[in-house]
Amino acid sequence: MNITQSPKTYKKPSNKSILLEFLGSMNLAISILVVLAIASIIGTVLQQNQPYNDYIIKFGPFWHEFFSGIGLYDAYSAVWFLILLGFLVLSTSVCIYRNTPVMLREMRQFRLHAKAKSLKSMKHAAVWQAEPEQVTAAHLIQKAKLYLGQFGFQLRDEVFDNHHTLVAKKGSFNRIGYILTHVGIVVICIGGLIDGNLGLKIKEWAGEIKIETRDITAKEVPAISRLKADESLSFRGSITLPEGSSSNFVFLNVRDGYLVQELPFSIELKEFRVEHYESGQPKSFESDLIIHDNEREKFETTISVNHPLIYRGYAIYQASFGDGGTQLELAVRPFFTKLSDSNQPPRIELQGEVNKKLTINTLQGKYILEFEDFKQFNIFPNEDKNINKQFINYGAMLTFKARDESGQAREFINYMSPVKLEGRYFYLTGMRATVGEDFKYLHIPVDSNASVERFFKFHAMLNDDARLLQMAQATVNSAVRAMDRGNEQMQQQVAQAMVRLTGLFRSGGYVAIDKDIKEKVPQEKQEEIAKAYMGVLQTALENMYLLVLREEGIDISKGISEADNVFFEDAVSALAGLGFYGAPFYLQLVDFKHREASGLQIARSPGKNTVYLGCLLLIIGIFMMFYIAQQRFWLMVVQAEGDGKMELIFAGSTNRNEFGFNKRYRKFSEQLKALLLDNK
């Protein structure tokens, strides 16, 4: 009789199974995780949501555009990041869907149907012989159950046709660890999607909101750039509150612009306090806040760094501090003007305020003063060995920009009090044309009254060509009388040379004189002429300075003091540096009324608790996978046939900690062999 067996037909997998296989594959999940990990590293190293000008300065125009195009300046809310996060959720969920039922079934299985041949081929396996007349299979199994049971194993045995099998297993919850780990990843990603501002991006694509890029006040921001209190599921914004002011909105930095996010309550800053270390670094700072809420009673609270206020699901952090609009008393001292009718250097009194602008008129045109910052304390390391202090306070400092009529602006920092450098006191004023440059400092020497009056009077007299010419002629005439000979034409030329050289010096310093020599004098005579020019200039400057001292009532008939001589040298050095200063005036900070401001960061993050839950599940799952080892032991008693001996097969397996399991197996094997084969 011939029996023909039909060949098995190949069944083509369905599209659904192929899709599930792809989405649940390990390769896809690992690829997504690698990209997300790289993006997270970039988002951590590269400071996010900063002004685009900062990025342009740091990376240059080309790389700035490239990084901006791929969304690295807001990596955690970039479209591609959220899409990858969504794919990771989908992939991991498919993996859980496909493998969880299998793992749960495996946890319940004891594998009683294992074959003798399979057990013998295991890495940990032993075979013993027993006399069937002396003991039965059931008796041996019972002895093994009593022994293994004391170690906390789950036991199950079953009698088959020619053998009796006992299985002891432990650590099945190891599989729960795999499930919890994958569920934890899904939960974390869902929390990330909740807080990823995906809804905000969808509204932006739909044209429901528009990013504001203009430098305008919050009241001027149009409705399309404002978000209602209940419109955003998640956000993180900031606001700077001066003392005594309140706000019911925050600014959200979005790429190269911002949005105004309204709050369902308002925050008032009652008082701000800051303490400093000796080095000048802030030691601690805190804000006394008053919360005004129409739905609840107002209450006062204090927040500090690392101690935020959680209110109605909103976290209010103490993030920074700054100036809140300090009132300034200022004096504008023009550089390139003559003495006033009262024979004093000109001075214009002004009132200003930090974070506001002021327009002034000068002989060189209108200037807009933009007061940007004020610091009451400026601590620097002490470089004077004669002072037994590690740090020195340079006092109050004002930062501002001076913008001319063409729109070009230079940034300045001016110290209110004179600073001691190399044993002498100076008023320091620094200037830079661009943010990427270092400040160049002008050192204005102080007189015996610790003021700048003498310096500006000296400079104003140098700006008076008529007085300069009068002084020059008197100097030349005095020199001629001393030699008892002269030439009126030459005397006039020398006097005019003094005036011309002084004019070059006051406008551009030594650089202007050097440029004039190179343009008008043959190269072979430039060094000789330069020495002559310096001599003439030095004479003119000294005589004008002596005139200043005489007008102050100082007797110079016996020469000038060492202090006055040092002042002259420092004043000339300062005048030589006016060419780079870039402003036709010095803005002196006379007095101030300080007003602090607190930088608050307000966040709404409903996905935060979801992320915490996912992290907890992930940690528990990882611990279960690494510290719970799944172990199984089999004892198979094969019935003897005829007069043959009974065969005992003892085997074991584990999925983790092979070294520790090897010691346990040897111990069980030795003790079970002695227990089961003992004929007594």
The proportion of the chain whose per-residue pLDDT surpasses 70, expressed as a percent, equals 95
pLDDT at res. 1: 41
Contact 630, 154 (CB under 8 A): no
pLDDT at res. 2: 46
pLDDT at res. 28: 84
pLDDT at res. 443: 94
* Angle at the Cα of 477 from the Cα atoms of 474 and 478, rounded to 5 degrees: 85
pLDDT tier at 643, thresholds 50, 70, 90 = low
* Pairing, β 631-638 against β 596-604: unpaired
Q: Please give the mean pLDDT across all residues of the chain.
A: 86
Q: How confident is the model over 491-538, as pLDDT tens digits? A: 777 778 788 888 888 878 888 888 888 888 888 888 888 888 888 888
Please give the single-letter amino acid code of residue 157.
D
Choose which CATH entry (3.30.2010, 3.40.50, 3.30.310, 1.20.120) describes domain 109-171+633-676: 3.30.310
CA atoms within 13 A on the CB side of 301: 16
Cα of 25 vs its chain's centroid, Å: 37
pLDDT at res. 3: 44
Classify residue 512 as exposed, middle or buried by CB count within 10 Å of its CB (0-12, 13-18, 19+): middle
Lowest mean pLDDT segment, chosen from 187-191, 276-280, 460-464, 664-668: 276-280
Q: Residues near 365 by Cβ (< 8 Å), separated by ≥ 6?
A: 404, 405
Is the predicted pLDDT of residue 480 greater than 60, yes or no? no
* Pairing, β 257-276 against β 226-227: parallel
- Average pLDDT of the residues in 368-378: 91
Q: Residues near 120 by Cβ (< 8 Å), separated by ≥ 6?
A: 127, 649, 651
In the chain, CATH 3.30.310 covers: 109-171+633-676
Q: How confident is the model over 183-242, as pLDDT tens digits? A: 999 998 888 888 877 777 788 888 889 989 888 888 899 999 999 988 888 888 999 999
Classify residue 128 as exposed, middle or buried by CB count within 10 Å of its CB (0-12, 13-18, 19+): middle
Q: How far apart are CA 555 and CA 288, in angstroms?
A: 60
pLDDT at res. 413: 95
Q: How far apart are CA 18 and CA 29, in angstroms?
A: 16
Better-scored residue on pLDDT, 129 or 52: 129
Q: What are phi and psi of 118, to 5 degrees?
A: -65, -40
Q: How far apart are CA 537 and CA 572, in angstroms?
A: 11
pLDDT at res. 487: 61
Q: Is residue 273 helix, strand or coil?
A: strand
Q: Which of the residue ranges 72-81, 497-506, 572-581 has the most confident prediction, judged by mean pLDDT?
A: 572-581
CA distance to 334, 356, 588, per residue, from 349 (Å)? 12, 17, 10
Q: How far apart are CA 23 and CA 122, in angstroms?
A: 35
Contact 503, 511 (CB under 8 A): no
Q: Which of the residue ranges 417-431, 475-489, 532-546 has the most confident prediction, judged by mean pLDDT?
A: 417-431
Contact 143, 587 (CB under 8 A): no
- Give this prediction's pTM: 0.68
pLDDT at res. 642: 63
Q: How far apart are CA 638 and CA 160, in angstroms?
A: 9
- What b/e string do you get for 321-348 counting C-beta neighbours within 10 Å, with b at 16 or more? bbbbbbebebbbbbbbbbbeeeeebeee
pLDDT tier at 571, thresholds 50, 70, 90 = very high
The H or E element spanning position 130 is strand 124-130
Strand partners, 251: 238, 260
Q: Is residue 525 helix, strand or coil?
A: helix
Cα of 15 vs its chain's centroid, Å: 48
DSSP assignment of 286-305: EEEEEEE-TTS--EEEEEET
The H or E element spanning position 573 is helix 562-576
Q: Is residue 394 helix, strand or coil?
A: coil
